[in-house]
Structure 1
Amino acid sequence: MFEMETHISCLFPEILAIIFSYLDVKDKGRVAQVCAAWRDASYHKSVWRGVEAKLHLRRANPSLFPSLQTRGIKKVQILSLRRSLSYVIQGMPHIESLNLCGCFNLTDNGLGHAFVQDIPSLRVLNLSLCKQITDSSLGRIAQYLKNLEVLELGGCSNITNTGLLLIAWGLHRLKSLNLRSCRHVSDVGIGHLSGMTRSAAEGCLSLEKLTLQDCQKLTDLSLKHVSKGLNKLKVLNLSFCGGISDAGMIHLSHMTHLCSLNLRSCDNISDTGIMHLAMGSLRLSGLDVSFCDKIGDQSLAYIAQGLYQLKSLSLCSCHISDDGINRMVRQMHELKTLNIGQCVRITDKGLELIADHLTQLTGIDLYGCTKITKRGLERITQLPCLKVLNLGLWQMTETTDDSVKCTYEPNADYMDRRTALSWEKRHLDKSCIHLVKKVMMGHRQLYSY
């Protein structure tokens, strides 16, 4: 019986579109050049759903925006802006996401000429590192982008409390706000956002994520405003905020919707602050107290008592020891990732306790733990769910008998770059001592700023 083989060119355009939707962006463009049928199929909007177009706006291109609209692309990142921003807004009237991160030449004047009428479709605006942007631009944004849900202002160092007042007046649907390194923002501005001042009618009470990293003027009063006004907040980043203290943790301890709290490098947070958090009604799944010099073993006891539902805990460079690990591990049954990098008092005993009790761990960071040996590592690698082990200053080599040899060899180049060695357990057998095929080693940047 004669059987006809079906060629891919015979497939319906709808089927081709489904296939093309799985390709990366470059390949989506390439298939459009194969033949007319593939070109037509590749222009189907389902192929480009969720894709963000990355553009260099250097010279006029009349076909650019019609082409994007035909594909249904509504997300744009501007990599270099040498033309007017209004060129983008006019070309994409139904734009949903606009990323201008790092467009240093963007000014209040340029943004003002672009936003001259309501843009109800725009939900996400990223102005991070647009250092010429001031409160004037926030006035335009608050006036014409009423449906904005995500606003990134990280590194916009000219933003002041007045700008936050304008945001509080106009952006009531805002769910995520990033104010990283906005050095002029103080407790007054946070009061505006939280609707706790007379001038800010309502505030941004729908906020679910607030990043206040490196806002040096903030004090515990800001946390009081946040706890009273932003009841829907799920993620709060206070890293490098040196002005907050243990007393501020009392305010946060009753925010029942809060899932993730970042206190990294908050120098005035101590065991007392962790006690306040643990004694409240928090249901945190993620806590980062890395580089908090006053955090010690007592904090781990408090965490075990009141924050035992944590799935991610970062204690990098805290003054903890095996005793603290012993007081914590028996209650932390849901913990998935643990960072105890640079905790130089941790020994093999601590690793053995972790291996015995934290059986759900998928990742552990041991960067700079100078007192651990091969014995402790072998116990850790027996964890049944472990996928990633970050070792940093350890040298891992494969010996002739296919075993893993771990020796501590401080390397100045590694130390300067502060990198960590990522070891994926899937390349090891169940005993985690012998290599199956290879050990995959790569460098991961530990400190993101």
Structure 2
Amino acid sequence: MRGHDRINNFLPEELILEIFRRLDSKPSRDACSLVCKRWLSLERFTRTTLRIGASFSPDVFINLLSRRFLHITSIFVDERLSVSLPSLSPTPTRKRRRDKSSPSSSKRKALTDKTHSEAENAESCSLTDAGLTALANGFPKTENLSLIWCPNVSSLGLSSLAQKCTFLKSLDLQGCFVGDQGLAAVGDFCKQLEELNLRFCEGLSDTGVIDLVVGCAKSLKSIGVAASSKITDLSLEAVGSHCKLLEVLFLDSEYIHDKGVMAVAQGCNRLKNLKLQCVNVTDKAFSTVGELCTSLEQLALYSFQQFTDKGMRAIGKGCKNLKNFTLSDCYFVSCKGLEAIAHGCKELTRVEINGCHNIGTHGVEAIGRSCPRLTELALLYCQRIGNPALHEIGKGCKSLETLHLVDCSAIGDNAICRIAKGCRNLKKLHIRRCYEIGNKGVIAIGKHCKSLTELSLRFCDKVGDEALIAIGKGCSLEQLNVSGCNKISDAGISAIARGCPQLTHLDISVLQNIGDMTLAELGEGCPMLKDLILSHCHDITDTGLNHLVQKCRLLETCHMVYCPGITSAGVATVVSSCPHIKKVLVEKWKVSERTTRRAGSVISYLCMDL
């Protein structure tokens, strides 16, 4: 009944709090907090995570948040994200009856004056040691802290935080210029630390890392280091000696050699995830990894110059539990090395080969014969891998769900047909610039792979309408990208519109044979559409956009640059008709002053004025 509160008068706070805790989406929680003051207070009570971008006064911002949210355990500060501080001053057009001398007004005025004065200082745009100290005082129960590219945070602030936030379990300092003293303080006070990321921390050396490792030896499980010239094998030797629970290690450094990697392999027998980009590490280190890291499940190797089939054989012989394997730009590895991995690591579920020019058909054939549990395969820039490789994948890997092919010029329709017939559970197929793949292969996918939800055929210029007609009849796509497939016309996209009502993402850019009929069909058949990219489509006009937005009310993104038939009227139609629109990419001269005033925050321009 109107005028009667059937919730607040009957439900205890404990039950309302439990309901809020079960809400997964942030928009739902935000909506609940606006119902009444009681719900606002209770919803704040249940918040455990804060995400903060760069603002003009982050230190003040943290003070405000600490008074509103009392049970925060995870804080993520990323100064690559631009988030403005909300205005603290009263709206000028609205008169306030409150006495200017009241305590709340004076506090607000003082805080506003402080904010404006700090905005004049360039350094006020970054979190400082004072802000980090405020964070520690306001959120002493913090368990997960991420400080991404916060250049004004130093050892002083980190030391202050470490002394207060002793429950810290995860610390990400990517791009911060903290020194060894701050890291040593973390080791002294944060005895529960499990995850540590030191990517691009140029101010650190072995001294700080060793102090932290010794202090957190009984808890540390994950370490990441990249582009830190003063972190050498000495740090890894300390890790190997003390961190017996280590499971994850990410290294990207030219200052790490065999000695460091071998020390970790010898001391950390629980290692499960190893990701390396270390040009000075050789087969000698991988012989030790293969022999001692028998629990290894994920291995990613990038840009190795001294890694050969010998190292691959050691991995294949010892790492029987390997499930995820990535090999990128390792030019001295051949088919024999990949065969050794396939024969020894039969539990593989994901394999990515990227730019390894000495790996050809025989290596991937071995994967197909020996790894029946494979669910994802990515072959990127592999010119020597031909159709027989995918024949074996289709024959032996019945559980394959995802296939990525980029610039594989020797793979054609016959290979895709074999995949379609053998891998009936295929859900994602992404192909780019594979010029031998045409209608025949894609038609087979539409006929046999009924579970397909994502299809990308970028710049496959042999694919035409017949292929999309088959896909529309056989699959219920959610995402489709046919950018640059010049043989596709209105008939093909219309077939998708009629057969795939769940479509949410569509990229038809650089298609010269697409017109307004396509947009009208999409409007009728795909009401769930959220992202539409139609740049460089010369025959699309405002009329087509008008038909589209009448039904596609969920549209969030629309890219339409270099579409001469779309004018300022079309842009205004999209902005005014789509209540959920978040981004419109268009030439600046096509946006009227009225549209700018109405929706300037969602308009992005291809070129800025010089």
TM-score normalised over the length of structure 2: 0.58
Which whole-Å deviations, capped at 9, do the CAs of 1:280-322 have from their partners, x for residues lacking one?
Answer: 2442111111111111112221111112x11111111112112
Q: Which has the higher contact order (CA 8 A, sep 6+)?
A: 1
Alpha-carbon deviation of 1:343?
0.6
Report the aligned-residue RMSD.
3.8
* Segment of structure 1 superposing worse, 240-249 or 111-120: 111-120
Select the residue among 146, 166, 170 that pairs with 1:40.
Answer: 166
* Superposition map of 1:30-429 within 5 A: 33-34=159-160, 37-42=163-168, 52-54=197-199, 60-61=206-207, 62-66=210-214, 69=217, 72-76=220-224, 77-88=250-261, 90-91=263-264, 93=268, 94-101=270-277, 103-109=278-284, 111-112=285-286, 115=289, 117-195=291-369, 203-254=370-421, 255-307=423-475, 309-318=476-485, 319-382=487-550, 383-393=552-562, 404=572, 425-426=581-582
Conserved 8 A contact 1:220-1:247: yes
Provide the C-alpha distance between the structure 1 equivalents of 2:395 and 2:295, rounded to a whole number of angstroms: 31
- The residue number in structure 2 matching 1:19 is 142
Which has the greater radius of gyration?
Answer: 2
Distance 1:280 1:116, change over 3 A: closer
Provide the C-alpha distance between the structure 1 equivalents of 2:446 and 2:502, rounded to a whole number of angstroms: 16
Provide the C-alpha distance between the structure 2 equivalents of 1:398 and 1:46, rounded to a whole number of angstroms: 61
Which whole-Å deviations, capped at 9, do the CAs of 1:415-444 have from their partners, x for residues lacking one?
Answer: xxxxxxxxx81379xxxx956442435589
Conserved 8 A contact 2:537-2:563: no
| Count, aligned residues | 405
Distance 1:113 1:281, change over 3 A: closer
Provide the C-alpha distance between the structure 1 equivalents of 2:372 and 2:439, rounded to a whole number of angstroms: 31
Conserved 8 A contact 1:55-1:80: no
Provide the C-alpha distance between the structure 1 equivalents of 2:448 and 2:162, rounded to a whole number of angstroms: 64
Which whole-Å deviations, capped at 9, do the CAs of 1:147-203 have from their partners, x for residues lacking one?
Answer: 3222210222222110111101222222211112222222221221122xxxxxxx2
Conserved 8 A contact 2:142-2:165: no
Provide the C-alpha distance between the structure 1 equivalents of 2:71 and 2:491, rounded to a whole number of angstroms: 66
- The residue number in structure 2 matching 1:199 is none
Which whole-Å deviations, capped at 9, do the CAs of 1:370-394 have from their partners, x for residues lacking one?
Answer: 2223333344445222222223436
- The residue number in structure 1 matching 2:130 is none
Q: Counterpart amino acid of 1:362? A: K
Residue aligned with 1:320, SS:
coil
* Structure that is richer in helix per residue: 2
Residue aligned with 2:380, SS:
coil
Provide the C-alpha distance between the structure 1 equivalents of 2:195 and 2:479, rounded to a whole number of angstroms: 29
- The residue number in structure 2 matching 1:438 is 600
Q: Counterpart amino acid of 1:188? A: H
Distance 1:112 1:19, change over 3 A: closer
Q: Counterpart amino acid of 1:243? A: A
Provide the C-alpha distance between the structure 1 equivalents of 2:193 and 2:427, rounded to a whole number of angstroms: 33
Conserved 8 A contact 2:538-2:563: no
Conserved 8 A contact 1:148-1:173: yes
Residue aligned with 1:211, SS:
strand
Q: Counterpart amino acid of 1:99? A: K
Distance 1:282 1:31, change over 3 A: farther
Please list every run of 5 or more consecutive structure 2 residues that lacks an aligned counterpart in the other structure: 1-62, 75-138, 171-189, 225-249, 575-579, 585-593
TM-score normalised over the length of structure 1: 0.77
Which whole-Å deviations, capped at 9, do the CAs of 1:103-146 have from their partners, x for residues lacking one?
Answer: 3333334x346526321443322212224322122122223333
- The residue number in structure 2 matching 1:418 is none
Conserved 8 A contact 1:97-1:122: yes
Distance 1:328 1:155, change over 3 A: same
Conserved 8 A contact 2:275-2:300: yes
- The residue number in structure 2 matching 1:4 is none
Distance 1:288 1:178, change over 3 A: same
